[in-house]
Amino acid sequence: MSLNVASCLVLTFFNSSFRHQICTQNGGPLKKKNMSSKTTFRLMFYINRSRPTKNGDCPINMRITINGESLAMFTKRYVQPDVWDGKLGMCKGKSAEANEVNRYIEAFKANVYNKYAELNSSFGQATPELMRDAILCVNTGKSKTLCDVWEDHTHDLKLLVGKETSQANYQKYCTSLKWMKQFLMEEYKMHDVPMQLINHHMVRKFEVYLLTKRMCNHNTTIKYLQNFKRIVMIGFKNGWVKINPFADYKLTLREVDRPYLTEKELQNIINLEISIPRLEIVRDLFVFSCFSGLAYIDLFQLKASELEFASNGILWIRTRRQKTKVKAQIPLLAEATFIIEKYCDLTVLKAEERVFPVLSNQKTNAYLKEIQTLVGLEKILTFHVARHTFATTVTMMNGVPIESVSRMLGHKDIKSTQHYARIVDTKIGNDMMDLASRIGSRLSFPAGYK
């Protein structure tokens, strides 16, 4: 039967050529169709008589219906109502204008079939929205499939490194994208998936994959899921995802044990005699962070312009944290000032020059493992242990109020400081002894009380 007859108006066929190869459990984003199930695909061309132009032409629209879901779109052609055959979905007569419109409709229809075949071949499933976007060549590629949207986002992050984000944050998105691609291949045998097909089930399956196949701990898994959620919300805000699959999905981090050094352990590192220059530099910078609270990236980027002497002669660091962009103002202790003077002369250092000869983060932490062995420390030594040590052993254990510690650490709120600056047993014991001495003379049992 020719496409110029009634089949142009409503065409229904059972899609046996595009059997769905992707299978998940019930409720999954991509369901394997039973071989006896039928996928209905209909096209209908009609004119919108309610929106005529000034000369009376009406727009020709096409309605796509797949499995009962419909969507109408404009074909970018107009026609006079009296030459349109509503039953055939085409122009009547054999005028030059009618022939040109009918040829356009035939070509348009052929393109629709091709797009339908491509979507079924690539994703095992087509939707009216995907069909529309593919036909119009909009919201396709990077803006419509999960991995491409993810890659586009990481590309933007890379450009923003050092401005609005960090290299570490960029790297986390790259790693989480890598696991997502492997997950899609192992779970669905696909390289990518349309944004429209992401749902709560897929989120849960990815979480299980990270916990089991990738052997990630709880907090690492949650952070990867947070990256996933960020990408999905980009699609949700742009209308590419209709229902938020993360609704009511809790992404809660668990409290972890943050190691820090005791005064004795810190003193042992300070006293350690080191003859290897690279280890000496790393040890000194680690100790500086123990007395200043600076994170590695903030120490790495510390410039002379961020150092300032107060009227009382105390040297201050006035900087803005790379991670949170929050101001950190730190009056330096003598130990920290000594290390600065060891490595630079502030009187000749230019404003934009860096204060310390900092090694890469990877080498710094590798050399700290050597120092850990040399000093006989059982705790695993990383550069961030110094920041914890400043928050606990150096400041809070010596009575510095948590509000002041929070300001020096550059935290957005006190809650963040409470995670770092824990109150350990020694501090609790000292506080209770002070309390006992204050109330002992006022509140006590009478003599002979039993």
Domain boundaries, the chain: 6-136, 142-237, 263-422
- Paired residues of 319 in beta bridges: 328
Domains 142-237 and 263-422 share a fold: no
Q: What is the pLDDT of residue 440?
A: 67
Q: What is the pLDDT of residues 339-388, one digit of tens each?
A: 999 999 988 999 999 999 989 989 999 999 999 999 999 999 999 999 99
Q: What is the pLDDT of residues 251-296, one digit of tens each?
A: 998 877 778 999 999 999 999 999 999 999 999 999 999 999 999 9
Q: Band of the pLDDT at 206, cuts 50, 70, 90?
A: very high
- Paired residues of 317 in beta bridges: 307, 330
Q: What is the pLDDT of residue 21?
A: 32
pLDDT at 122 over 60: yes
Q: Band of the pLDDT at 400, cuts 50, 70, 90?
A: confident
Q: What is the pLDDT of residues 223-238, one digit of tens each?
A: 999 999 999 999 888 8
Burial class (CB in 10 A: 0-12, 13-18, 19+), 46: middle
Q: Which of 366, 373, 353 has its CA nearest to residue 278?
A: 366
Q: Both tokens of residue 197?
A: 């097909």
Higher per-residue pLDDT: 418 or 116: 116
Q: What is the pLDDT of residue 399?
A: 81
Q: Can you name the CATH fold of 142-237?
A: DNA polymerase; domain 1 (1.10.150)
Task: Please tell me the pTM assigned to this model.
Answer: 0.56
The mean per-residue pLDDT over the stretch 10-21 comes to 32
The mean per-residue pLDDT over the stretch 400-404 comes to 87
Q: Band of the pLDDT at 142, cuts 50, 70, 90?
A: very low
Q: What is the pLDDT of residue 8?
A: 35
Q: Both tokens of residue 179?
A: 């696991």
Higher per-residue pLDDT: 423 or 272: 272
Distance CA 134, CA 121 (A): 14
Q: Which of 213, 212, 210, 237 has its CA nearest to residue 225?
A: 210
Q: What is the pLDDT of residue 127?
A: 81
Q: What percent of the chain has pLDDT over 70?
A: 85
CATH code given to domain 263-422: 1.10.443.10
Q: What percent of the chain has pLDDT over 90?
A: 50
The mean per-residue pLDDT over the stretch 411-435 comes to 70
Provide the mean pLDDT of the chain.
83
pLDDT at 143 over 60: no
